[in-house]
Amino acid sequence: MGNTRAEPQHGALFLVGIGPGDPGLLTFRAAEVLSAVEVVVGYDLYVELVRPRFPGPEYLASPITQEVERARTAVTLAIGGRQVALIGSGDAGVYGLAGLALEHLERLDAAHLPLEVVPGVTAALAAAALLGAPLGHDFCTISLSDLLTPWTTIRRRLEAAAAADFVTVLYNPASRRRTVQLREAIALFLVHRPPETPVGLVSNGYRDGQAVRTTTLTALAEEHVDMLTTIIIGNAATRRWGARLITPRGYPNKGRENEQDRAEQETS
């Protein structure tokens, strides 16, 4: 540990989402924090994404499997008086480390520790932007990883999302060993949605090797999907326009009848 400047009362923990990868999508606040902290704790790949731009702090990088250890290390260092950023891709709280860190603080009853969660551009939003406007109406996100969640729970949520016509964003859709989950998810959606329902896939969004594709619900089974892919399944109104997906904000029969309501709802 090169930096001995910190005093115990100056410890603080920042849980920082660094966005999908592109430096332009790291928020201004995240950049401020990464310029100011003494230690950055993160997964190897994400450390390599930020280190060149923020050379000041000491970096503690570890492999992807060591999530719990990373969260604990960051908490321990912060309680010990250091200014620490625990980084995660996208938003640190969305299927990320922020919860692990907060749970650890909760166990230690360390509510006194200065803490800031810095939001980041999560994969759903990054993928949606690259695909156009697929999230123009109600949507939900579901992780297909059954490493930490029973498959029966994931299945129940998939069924509910499909039945309720949510645009559905699939995180962690498949890995080399885990491929049946996506096949089963497609089958569940086909019970409620037509085979030609538009689907978008983004792999390595805003990183080297970025690939953006659109397909249909039935043809999704033939696409190459891995852990660096986010999938967006359209709702009944989603349509393809060239390489883009559009989920309309309103429905044709819901037009002018209540301009006032509409004006109140518009936020942009």
Nearer to ligand SAH, 120 or 198 (CB): 120
- Minimal CB distance to ligand SAH: which residue? 90
- Interaction of residue 90 with ligand SAH, rule CB under 6 A: yes
Closest CA to 139 of 110, 166, 173: 166
Closest CA to 113 of 78, 145, 158, 77: 78
User: Beta 244-246 vs 139-143: how paired, if at all?
Assistant: unpaired
Q: What are phi and psi of 266, to 5 degrees?
A: -60, 130
Specify the stretch interacting with ligand SAH by CB under 6 A; choose among 54-62, 92-100, 184-192, 239-247.
92-100
CA distance 185 to 159: 8
- Interaction of residue 102 with ligand SAH, rule CB under 6 A: no
Minimum CB separation of residue 3 from ligand SAH in Å reads 28
Specify the stretch interacting with ligand SAH by CB under 6 A; choose among 47-55, 133-141, 205-213, 257-265.
205-213
Nearer to ligand SAH, 203 or 238 (CB): 203
The secondary structure of residue 88, as a DSSP letter, is: E
End-to-end Cα separation, the chain, in angstroms = 47
Minimum CB separation of residue 209 from ligand SAH in Å reads 10
- Interaction of residue 207 with ligand SAH, rule CB under 6 A: yes
CA distance 84 to 244: 40
Q: What are phi and psi of 72, to 5 degrees?
A: -65, -40
Specify the stretch interacting with ligand SAH by CB under 6 A; choose among 4-12, 106-114, 165-173, 242-250.
165-173
Residues that bind ligand SAH (CB under 6 A): 20-21, 88-91, 94-96, 122-123, 127, 171-173, 202-207, 227-230
